[in-house]
Copies of this chain bind each other. A is one copy, B any other.
Amino acid sequence: MKLPVGILGATGMVGQNYIRLLENHPWFKVSYIASSPKSTGKSYIDAVKDRWQMPGPIPEQIKNLLVHDANIVTEAVGKCNFVFSALEISKEAIRALENEYAANDIAVISNCSAHRHTEDVPMLIPEINHDHIKIINAQRRNHGWKTGFVAVKPNCSVQSYMTPIFALINAGYEIKRIIITTMQAVSGGGYPGVASLDIVDNIVPFIGGEEEKSELEPLKILGSIKNDKIVPIDSLKISAHCNRVPVVDGHTACVSLEFGAYKPDREEILTLWSEFKSLPQQLDLPSAPRQPIIYADEENRPQPRKDRDNDKAMAVTVGRLRLCNVFDYRFVGLSHNTVRGAAGGGILNAELLVKKGYINP
């Protein structure tokens, strides 16, 4: 018996990815799809039509599902235990709507940025801050919700380097300063998104709002719960340069980092990375990569086309660990932005929350 799950924003790119990745999920089954009012009442295949961007066709069991209006929360009640939110409306509207689902006893696992800095909402990378899920108890008390709640995941590009960085912090090393340059895939811009005239034989050294997210979100992810709030760490400074490049999928990041007083040597870092496992691996969650951090030995890796699909596209692949002329070390990190960085990451969050009893069967 699989858990019935809903998708809000099911016709957009992230929604399509949820549908694709959930097709054969061992625990979950898509039972409810909702979108903006203009698709309401259509079958999914009619609503999405020429905009289906996934490899392979729309899964058979989804084609004829009726698309509901995501704004009418009561329609979802009784049809699904929780929803994945990939809404494409204003932040204010998303916050209100996600809260309303939670108030109606429907847990919300969100891809949206709206609630990322709400103090009692966990922003999860399960390998890093799985213990932040405890804040959900406070969140429920604050709102008077019973079984509903909101949990979010961070921005897609953050996954390309945060797990390897956390593996070092986790071993007791303080990291003080990080300068990052990302080279991000066009799929991160949605569809139609980035115009071909902006990206064929070109790069665009700007992605609206991306640098701010990359500099702020890690501080909350690495934060701790105090007085029923998640308090960001204040000992770390991040500077991010974000670029769009002519790559379909896979965000690459060049990272320079400075340790505090104690610095591991190169061999120790490689060992910390290769041995790093966390709760998703211990719980053997279906979407968890067996090896969360894969180190590529070749001097010219990781590369997006060749490494983005490693371990079901859920692993982070790193390479080129070497001394930095200015800080202590530098390396290159890579993850699949629409799987690990979006729908796949959301599904892993849901798996964790089911396993830990926050979502009831």
Residues of A within 8 A of B (CB): 50, 53, 55-56, 177-179, 181, 183, 186-187, 189, 191-206, 215, 237-241, 243, 245-248, 252, 254, 256, 298-307, 309-310, 319-320, 324-327, 330, 332
Contacts and interface: CB of A to CB of B under 8 A. Distances in A.
Contacts of A319: 205
Contacts of A186: 196-197, 200
A204 B301 CA distance: 7
A26 to B, nearest CB: 20
Contact of A203 (B50, B189, B252): B252
Given A179-B326, A256-B179, A256-B239, A197 B202 contact: no
A326 B325 CA distance: 16
A200 B197 CA distance: 11
A86 to B, nearest CB: 16
A111 to B, nearest CB: 18
A324 B56 CA distance: 28
B303 A50 contact: no
B326 A246 contact: no
Contact of A199 (B179, B196, B237, B241): B196
A326 B238 contact: yes
Q: List the 10 closest A-B pairs by CB distance, nearest first.
A: A181-B181, A192-B195, A241-B254, A239-B326, A239-B325, A206-B300, A201-B201, A202-B305, A186-B196, A194-B196
B205 A197 contact: no
Contacts of A245: 183, 203, 245-246
B56 A309 contact: yes
A183 B203 contact: yes
A325 B238 contact: yes
A304 B202 contact: yes
Contact of A237 (B201, B203, B325): B325
B206 A247 contact: no
Contacts of A195: 191-196
Given A55-B306, A326-B177, A201 B200 contact: yes
Contact of A325 (B192, B215, B243, B327): B215
A178 B179 CA distance: 11
Contact of A327 (B204, B239, B299): B239
Contacts of A179: 179, 256, 324, 326-327
